[in-house]
Structure 1
Amino acid sequence: MTRLDLEGLGFAQGAHILVERALRGLPPGDRLHVVGHDPALAVHLRGWCRSRGHVFSADQHGSLVSPGPAERQRWAGAERAGGPRPDGIVRRPPPHWGLAARGALVEAGGPTPVGFDIADRDVVWADLAPRLYAHAAAAQWDPAVAVDWSAATELPEDIEAAVVQVMTYLVENEQAALVIPARLLARIHPHFREVQQLLAVQAADEARHIEVFSRRALLTGSELGTSSAGGRASLTSLLFEADFSLASFLLSVLGEGAFLALLAFLDEHAPDPVTRQVTRLARVDEARHVAFGVAHLEHQAALDPTLRGRLRAAVERRHDALVDTAGLNADVYDALVVLAAGEWTPAAIARGYAAVQRLQAAMDDGRRQRLERLGFPPDEAAELSALHTRNFM
């Protein structure tokens, strides 16, 4: 018989923890001899044993506890929720696992299963996700520290107006890029926690971009620029895509992929240090978003031969929905020309216009390369890239 001396520890101070530990180590049929000098020990121990299904008795030397079947029965139907590491992920976690940590021993019963409708590994996973999340967590930056806001340079009024217009446009697009991963995040089964974590950081990235672009726009006291109906229609069309892979494709692979070229353009042609800093910082984050989108779709394309057909249909469907809209806000296009020109001479404007055309060509080239990575032949990649929204995102 095993002896446990609780000394002065009572059940009001956690004595049950030591009793439970001692009972777990007992062989079947054995008893635990519990002693201690807390005045209420016997009363509390008797009640605790009754609640747990253990057998309690007492003699002149203390209390005797025999493990009852209740605790064993409680975990008889339990199962492991896969394994804690990525190699322990199951393809389709059952709904009743709910919010249990991956790898935990899940007690049978419990609350009504939570409706996580994205609950298939092949729909959400990318082997790159754990590494991308680790990189994302380490690469977070503080807008108040990472940007030297005191480095602002006083610009001519019309150049500052061009910066403000572009920043207004960036904020509008980043708001869509925040909402979409946030919506998807809430639908993913927690078993795929690395993807959840990555999307949570992606939403945080976009929130930070909205902050720095807004702050740059307002740096000199200007009002924000214009928001076109066509631009908002283009972004709103992204919100209607409920399929995880198609939403990732339209937003991250095509839209944010194009934004990598735009942010590089703004880095090159920024008229002041603050504009250069905020676009450069955002570009690093956006590259990570694009990397996950591509990796996820490469993973799924290897498993689903119908994926490319669905991706094509998504591009065509969005193009048809936006065919009658004006596309990119003309104020934004002109602002990009002005920033690339740097001055108001005819020759400079011509250079700026040519630079924006090269930007559009670079966006097209990047889209075609990513589409080819997903298995589209070059001619089909070029065709689909040409159908992408004129609003860039």
Structure 2
Amino acid sequence: MTTAPPGVLDLETLSFERGAHLLVQQALRGLRPGDELGVTGGDPALVVHLETWCRQNGHGVRPALDTDFGIRAWVVRGRADLDRWAGAQRAGGPHPGGIVSDPAPDWGLAARGALIEQGGPTPPFDITHRDLVWAEIAPSLYAHAASAQWNPDTEVDWKADFTLAPEVEQAVVQVMTYLIENEQAALVIPARLLGRIHPHFREVLQLLAVQAADEARHMEVFTRRALLRGGEMGTSSASGRESLATLLTEAEFSLASFLLSVLGEGSFLNLLEFLDKHAPDPVTRQVTRLARRDEARHVAFGVAHLQHQSQIDPALRGRLRSAVERRYDALVDTSGLNQDVFDSLVIMAAGQWTPEAIARGYDKVMKLQSEMDDGRQRRLVHLGFPADEAADLSSLHTRNFM
């Protein structure tokens, strides 16, 4: 191979059909508008393809002369590709420190930190300000969530040897049915929010995506436990579904996060701990313990986000209170927790079919509800509510737990 003289690009036998434009493009990068680049090569269609490519990319082409010593055409460096990026801007920086508080809508799906060409579509993201979704803990929480994913097939001993009385197995199935119902709501809410958040806040998107994956996995393991002994699913009350449906109506990210993660899933942490402690078999214990570990992350993000926003928005606590009151008013005439679920929790906590054991199980369920209330109050105080107001708001929380 001979070396081409300065200002001349020898493509040898490489054609435009196989990437010759990359070498032409690279050679033009070092030239100013109006400078010329001689192009030669052995492809018979070189000049035709070169002219087409130059027209598409804003460069000129002039024919070579017989005295040009084998040069087949001259490319005149144009300005079009320079003008294309004249108004371009960086979409912040790729790391969390480079997040822009209010990213432009037409950045769309561009990677954070990319050089953004002007124009292009404006996707329908309506949550576009950092403070509406952000929490400083989001990047580290996502990293933890990604590393803590677990496989139901290997983490749960589905073949564990145990035998339960039919009434106890039925109680477990009923509780699993109830958990599935709630986890389905907990999956739908972050999934719906994902399509509304500007991708510039990708750590939040990633965290919500893992949260949705967590809930999908919980639905799987609770279903598998419910059907493990060949029985049918339990009951689903209208009031329970109505309670969950109210969670789907909150359009504001912070309010939805507050009702679902801080109040609802926060109460569920107590429930899952209760089920872990009183599980009558190892499989029930394993699935509830694994689920609780995931749910703790969901609650942590919800609390951290609301704490972040409350520091910059003094009116936030008023909106949170209004959200609780609206939900309470919507559910005031419902019956609350499915009686079948309440009775099943009593049976699981009792462990025996004696009056004394049932009384003991009932007391444990009442203690569970008290612990749920205490947990909600602590989280509300953490968000800046006075203790008496936190107690008042906690008492208005749905009797359906979630």
Could you state the TM-score of these two structures normalised by the residue count of structure 2? 0.95
What's the CA shift for 1:133?
1.0
For the pair 1:209 / 2:218, whether they are aligned, the reply is yes
Aligned residue pairs total 392
For the pair 1:79 / 2:89, whether they are aligned, the reply is yes
Q: State the AA in 2 paired with 1:198.
A: L
Q: Structure 2: how far apart are the matches of 1:130 and 1:245?
A: 18
Q: State the AA in 1 paired with 2:327.
A: R
Contact conserved, 1:152 with 1:274, CA < 8 A, in 2?
Answer: no
> Counting helix residues as a fraction of each chain, which structure ranks higher?
1
Residue 142 of structure 1, aligned match among 151, 174, 177? 151
For the pair 1:382 / 2:387, whether they are aligned, the reply is no
What's the CA shift for 1:353?
1.1
- Percent sequence identity over matched residues? 71
Q: Structure 2: how far apart are the matches of 1:347 and 1:10?
A: 89
Counterpart in 1 of 2:45?
40
Give CA-to-partner distance per residue, 1:64-119, whole Å, 9 cap, x none: 222101111111122222221111111111211111111111111223x1111111
Contact conserved, 2:102 with 2:128, CA < 8 A, in 1?
Answer: yes
Give the 5 Å matches for 1:185-224: 185-224=194-233
Counterpart in 1 of 2:234?
225
For the pair 1:121 / 2:130, whether they are aligned, the reply is yes
Counterpart in 2 of 1:303?
312
Q: Structure 2: how far apart are the matches of 1:311 and 1:385?
A: 12
Residue 272 of structure 1, aligned match among 260, 265, 281? 281
Q: Structure 1: how far apart are the matches of 2:18 and 2:123?
A: 35
Residue 112 of structure 2, aligned match among 102, 114, 119? 102
Contact conserved, 2:33 with 2:79, CA < 8 A, in 1?
Answer: no
Q: Check 1:152–1:296 CA distance in 2 against 1; reply closer, same or farther (3 A cut).
A: farther
Counterpart in 1 of 2:23?
18
Residue 55 of structure 1, aligned match among 50, 53, 60? 60
Q: State the AA in 2 paired with 1:38.
A: D
Three-state SS of the structure 2 residue aligned to 1:190 is coil
Give the 5 Å matches for 1:233-244: 233-244=242-253
Q: Structure 1: how far apart are the matches of 2:228 and 2:400?
A: 26
For the pair 1:92 / 2:115, whether they are aligned, the reply is no
What's the CA shift for 1:28?
4.7
Q: State the AA in 2 paired with 1:218.
A: L
Give CA-to-partner distance per residue, 1:153-203, whole Å, 9 cap, x none: 221100000000000000000010011111111111111111111111111
Q: Structure 1: how far apart are the matches of 2:266 and 2:153?
A: 27
Counterpart in 1 of 2:36?
31
Q: Structure 2: how far apart are the matches of 1:156 and 1:105?
A: 65
Q: Structure 2: how far apart are the matches of 1:110 and 1:208?
A: 37
For the pair 1:262 / 2:271, whether they are aligned, the reply is yes
Further displaced range: 345-354 or 241-250: 345-354
Q: Structure 1: how far apart are the matches of 2:270 and 2:77?
A: 67
Q: Structure 1: how far apart are the matches of 2:13 and 2:283?
A: 65
Further displaced range: 133-142 or 216-225: 133-142
What's the CA shift for 1:152?
4.7
CA RMSD of aligned residues (A): 1.2
Contact conserved, 2:267 with 2:372, CA < 8 A, in 1?
Answer: yes
Counterpart in 2 of 1:318?
327
Residue 293 of structure 2, aligned match among 267, 279, 284? 284
Q: Structure 2: how far apart are the matches of 1:213 and 1:387?
A: 28
Counterpart in 1 of 2:346?
337
Q: State the AA in 2 paired with 1:13.
A: R
Q: State the AA in 2 paired with 1:92.
A: D
Further displaced range: 31-40 or 367-376: 31-40
What's the CA shift for 1:52?
1.1
Give the 5 Å matches for 1:347-362: 347-362=356-371
Q: State the AA in 1 paired with 2:212.
A: A
Find runs of 4+ consecutive structure 1 residues off by over 3 angstroms.
Answer: 27-30
Q: State the AA in 2 paired with 1:17.
A: L
Give CA-to-partner distance per residue, 1:274-331, whole Å, 9 cap, x none: 1011101101110010011001001100110000111011111111111111001111
Q: Structure 1: how far apart are the matches of 2:345 and 2:30?
A: 72
Q: State the AA in 1 paired with 2:40.
A: V
What's the CA shift for 1:47?
1.5
Further displaced range: 52-61 or 235-244: 52-61
Give the 5 Å matches for 1:162-201: 162-201=171-210
